[in-house]
Amino acid sequence: MPAIYVHIPFCKQKCVHCDFNSYSGLDSLHRAYVGALVSEIALQAPALRNSSDNDLSVSSVYIGGGTPTLIDPAHIDAVLHAIANHFSITRDVEVSIEANPETITLERMAVLKEAGVNRLSIGFQSLDNRCLQVLGRKHSAMQAIDAFNAARETGFDNINIDLIFGIPGQTIANWASTLEQVTLLDPEHLSCYSLTIEPGTVLEREIAMGLVETPDEDVQADMFTYTIESLRESGFEHYEISNYAKLGKRCRHNLTYWNNGDYIGFGAGAHSKMLNIRFSNIASPAEYIKSVESGSCIAEVIDLSIEDEMSEMLFLGLRKTEGINLEEFKTRFGRPLHAVYGAQVDDLIRNGLVTWDDRLRLTSRGILFGNEVFSRFI
Ligand code: SF4
């Protein structure tokens, strides 16, 4: 059962740390882009049905970006209608949308709810105005809290809040204060990411020019440990390296990725994986619109080898705190995991980064050095 991802690549302004496929100043493309999305869904659905013996019923739709709530919510309604017309949607489908606080209003939320959206992911990033300024965010801490309350008032009962820690100049006390305020709002889910300096971003240039200090890795590690402990005390389950959920509120869509399941991406630069084929769309929104009009927007197709699939199962599955079921690996690939990755696993065990019983999973230390572990399986 594949998950569906829809990419809306528009933002009010580019945040300094962002290297996503997102653009500001393209408001004039919104309508044509949504038209292209609806066409792409109609174009791809029969091909996906014919080329796959998979069950094409869908139990999660994720509208990400960019800032999907920047565009007219009637456009989101049109996209969700197109999906419902071409795929079989389960009754309990999870329909998530990413939202930035400055785009959240009672009216907008009501239209989205009516359109079938039942999960919101709000990009707070911080509840400290100085940190928000460092990231180049367009909202204040108070606006973020007001946005959350407006979403609740509209009836959204499944809300994720996105946060970033390790922002230049941020102290542990400052991060602890953001976490405390956020948990008082009582969201169902939290995603807490350590700030990474991506090549080509404004933040990378600012750091290179000495305008902003480099985030301290030791402070980031302390913040990460504090996050895990503090959120556990507040009743959140730490189920993936960066994700925490109240009981029964894990993100179904993202679990599809970590479980190495199939997914179909629509929109500029969106990626898909069906069985052992991975494909991605043209990244530029204007080029994407043109290419859909001419009948195909796929930029790249990759056939995954068995080795690729084994590697993906490892580095995606290990992100989950429950790790990887060894029996599942053996059933899927016909070989025990240890026969393929014995040397790497033994070395990681020696270094206290993974444990091994009926599952292979990260230790508390391994969670802190996740990237080091994943790099051993790529
Ligand atoms: S709002 Fe999100 S997608 Fe847009 S620029 Fe900022 S971080 Fe990137």
Whether 286 maps to a domain, the answer reads: no
Residues written for the chain: 378
Nearest ligand 1 atom, CA 100:
1
Contacts made by residues 289-297, CB under 8 angstroms, sequence distance 24+: 289/29, 289/32, 289/33, 289/35, 289/36, 292/36, 292/39, 292/40, 292/43, 293/36, 293/39, 295/43, 296/43, 297/36, 297/40
Residue that finishes a domain, picked among 206, 229, 257? 257
- Would you say residue 268 lies in a domain? no
Residue 189 lies in a domain: yes
Flag whether 298 is in a domain: no
Asked if residue 219 and residue 348 are part of one domain, the reply reads no
Domain residues for the domain of 366 are: 322-378
User: Which ligand 1 atom is nearest residue 22's CA?
Assistant: 3
Verify that 177 and 251 share a domain, yes or no.
Answer: yes
Residue 276 lies in a domain: no
Do 191 and 332 reside in the same domain of the chain? no
**Could you tell me if residue 297 is inside a domain?**
no
Which runs of E-coded beta strand occur in 127-236? 159-165, 189-194
Identify the bridge partners of residue 122 per DSSP, sorted by sequence position.
99, 161
Nearest CA to ligand 1 atom 3: 66
Q: Give the predicted TM-score (pTM) of the model.
A: 0.95
In a domain, 191, yes or no: yes
Does any ligand 1 atom lie closer than 6 A to the CB of residue 291? no
Give backbone dihedrals phi and psi of 20, rounded to 5 degrees, phi first: -75, 165
User: Ligand 1: distance of its center to the CA of 238 in Å?
Assistant: 25
- Do 328 and 202 sit in the same domain of this protein? no
Same domain? For 187 and 47 the reply is yes
Question: Does one domain contain both 251 and 330?
Answer: no
Residues 180 and 326 in one domain: no
In a domain, 316, yes or no: no
22 lines ligand 1 (CB under 6 A): yes
| Whether residue 167 sits in one domain with residue 74 | yes
Residues 106 and 219 in one domain: yes
CATH number of the domain where residue 171 is located:
3.20.20.70
Tell which of 211, 231, 257 closes a domain: 257
Residue at which a domain ends, from 225, 257, 289:
257
Tell me the pLDDT of the chain (378 aa) as tens digits: 799 999 999 999 999 999 999 999 999 999 999 999 999 999 998 877 766 555 678 999 999 999 999 999 999 999 999 999 999 999 999 999 999 999 999 999 999 999 999 999 999 999 999 999 999 998 999 999 999 999 999 999 999 999 999 999 999 999 999 999 999 999 999 999 999 999 999 999 999 999 999 988 999 999 999 999 999 999 999 999 999 999 999 999 999 999 999 999 999 999 999 989 999 999 999 999 999 999 989 999 999 999 999 999 999 999 999 999 999 999 999 999 999 999 999 999 999 999 999 999 999 999 999 999 999 998
Tokens of 179: 């976490």
Domain count within the chain: 2
241 Cβ contact list (under 8 Å, min separation 6): 319, 321, 362, 367, 370
Same domain, 27 and 117: yes
Q: Is the CB of 187 inside a 6 Å radius of any atom of ligand 1?
A: no
**Token pair for 227:** 């996050």
